[in-house]
Structure 1
Amino acid sequence: MRDTGNRRDLEDGIKRDFSKDMSYGDYLRLDLLLSAQQPQSDPPQHDELLFIVQHQTSELWLKLMVHELRSARDLLRGDDLAPALKRLARVKHIQHTLTDQWSVLATLTPSEYAQIRPFLATSSGFQSAQYREVEFLLGNKNADMVKVFAHDPAAHDELGTLLGEPSLYDEFLAFLARRGYAVPPALLERDWSQPYRLDPALVTVFAEVYASPAEHWGVYETCEELVDVEDAFQQWRFRHLQVVQRTIGHKTGTGGSSGVDFLRRALDLTFFPELYEVRTQIPQ
């Protein structure tokens, strides 16, 4: 065996000259991406880069989640269930990645965070437009949230549009109605800007699906995919709350909220209430 001096020689076919051809960095625009981390602390604080990277990568994952949820919603509108389920499966993996990321930020101790918090000024994750897009797409509509983005016309207009459009769940219910399921008509022609509220008659519809999964397999599978998405979202919310609590306790948030108490109230919000309520009607 030839001694290579503990190194791996480049193969002849590996491209080396990118003076005229696209490189990895060119394709990903790494010049822009890696220059976007601009710490504000003075004197510089070591841990600020962690805080920035954590939130910037989260925004990238949120961008992909919005992309997938929009596509899933459009596919349901077009009665194309199989690829819609594929999109939701990908969303779940994105959610798990976002939740796992909190463990990195959790390495930031209260003392370390205190060194960079003044430089955040009034900025807060509460002001993430893409996070609100995800919530609106899943059905947690709140017109007051749109007002937070009056300073950003593009985000304000996008959220305003989503506020008035059917959510992913709304499109699923319309899909069910077109398949002959007894979806209450009031759910098919409602004010989309209002938060969704549980309808007992729809619980009965889902009870029939869960009573005979084999006869309603596509719908049954979609119901469980949606429950998976909500479950993963709640895990993200809870992990967020935990990290905030261990870092700042019950201090007020940088964006002006009550902090942990405000985050805890989000745990009571639900996207797909009937899919949880139906579980109490399934015979044991």
Structure 2
Amino acid sequence: MADREHRREIEAGIEQDFSRQMSYADYLRLDVLLSAQRPLSDPPQHDELLFIVQHQTSELWLKLMVHELRSARDLLSRDDLAQALKRLARVKHIQHTLTDQWAVLATLTPSEYAEIRPFLATSSGFQSAQYREVEFLLGNKDADMVKVFAHDPATRDELDRLLHEPSLYDEFLAYLSRRGFAVPADRLDRDFSQPYRSSPALVDVFAGVYAEPTAHWGVYETCEELVDVEDNFQEWRFRHLQVVQRTIGHKTGTGGSSGVDFLRRALDLTFFPELYEVRTRIG
């Protein structure tokens, strides 16, 4: 009787024979996924697996974020604001997960990282194509970033397409225009491959939205959702900077950047400038 109290019987209806049926491992391709962690350190270093898993899982979350941002952008182009907001809500949760992951990597001390760093060679997170996709989708366009992927034509071409396509913010502004808001024409008809520049006239448009939020609730909510996304992105950038600083100090990055100083300059970048500038006009 005592033994039965401390074990859970397998119920009769639970599948146990997967010789001819799909299993959990089959569906998730765990044979492929779990064989992708291949440390290069010689002699083997205990902490290299942490470094690999951290970055591989980040790439998986980035893949999902790209999926959701593309969908949100397309939904806005079809005037489906409610579904687009649902996508952005999921993006925000993904961002929180990505940011929280830095705490795991931060357990890697400078001495421990020094043991595996030589085996990274010239590889660097700067070379993450999916990270660039996220930035392009949010509006931080930079043609020079596409050149980094000249060695991979498929990736280069995909980034080049995103470079020239409207960003999520561009589609939001087009949505506003179709709803009768006085979005400046130069915000709608422009070269989308160029970095976005703030428009004082657009700040006026958003000032009107924030002056009467109940009259423009859907747009007002979307503005705040976009600010949430940018805030989360900046938090991710800052945590990245902190982890790099505590791990390598001010050493040069493996990919050749200045390291911490290069990462710090990214904190000055913004996706939705008018949504921040309008705050000085409220009240």
Amino acid corresponding to residue 241 of structure 2 in structure 1: L
**1:1-284 pair list within 5 angstroms:** 3-4=3-4, 6-283=6-283
Tell me, in whole angstroms, the C-alpha distance in 1 between the residues paired with 2:5 and 2:105. Answer: 40
Q: Distance in 2 between matches of 1:14 and 1:162?
A: 46
User: Alignment RMSD, CA only?
Assistant: 0.8
User: Residue 3 of structure 1: CA displacement?
Assistant: 4.1
CA distance in structure 1 between the aligned counterparts of 2:48 and 2:281, rounded to whole angstroms: 50
Range with bigger deviation, 144-153 or 2-11: 2-11
Shift of 1:2: 6.6
Deviations 1:107-136 (A, max 9, x none): 000000000000000000000000000000
- Which letter maps to 2:236? W
Q: Give 1:7 deviation, angstroms.
A: 1.5
The TM-score normalised by the length of structure 1 is 0.99
Task: After TM superposition, give the deviation of residue 153 of structure 1 in Å.
Answer: 1.0
Shift of 1:8: 1.2
| Displacement of 1:154 | 1.2
User: What SS does the aligned partner of 2:113 have?
Assistant: helix
Q: Distance in 2 between matches of 1:153 and 1:34?
A: 27
Unaligned runs of 5+ in 1: none
Quick one: which amino acid aligns to residue 189 of structure 1? Answer: D
1:242 Cα offset (Å): 0.1
Q: 1: distance between equivalents of 2:145 and 2:83?
A: 31
Q: Secondary structure at the match of 2:4?
A: coil
- Tell me how far apart the structure 1 counterparts of residues 107 and 89 of structure 2 sit (CA, whole Å): 29
Distance, in Å, in 2 between the alignment partners of 1:179 and 1:5 is: 64
Identical counterparts, % of pairs: 84
Give the Cα separation in 1 of the matches to 2:120 and 2:265.
Answer: 24
What letter is aligned with 2:30? L
Partner AA of 1:128 in structure 2: S
CA distance, structure 2, for counterparts of residue 147 and residue 244 of structure 1: 25
* Alpha-carbon distance between aligned partners in 1 of 2:191 and 2:259, rounded to the nearest angstrom: 31
- Supply the AA of the counterpart residue of 1:4: R
Give the ranges of 4+ consecutive aligned residues of structure 1 lying more than 3 Å apart after TM superposition: none
Size of the aligned set, in residue pairs, is 283
CA distance in 2, matches of 1:274, 1:5: 62
Task: Find the aligned partners of 2:200 and 2:180 in 1 and give their Cα distance.
Answer: 18
SS of residue matched to 1:4: helix
CA shift at 1:9, angstroms? 1.3
CA–CA separation in structure 2 for the residues paired with 1:186 and 1:213: 26
| Partner-residue secondary structure (3-state), 2:114 | helix
Q: TM-score, normalised by structure 2?
A: 0.99
- Distance in 1, Cα, partners of 2:155 & 2:51: 23
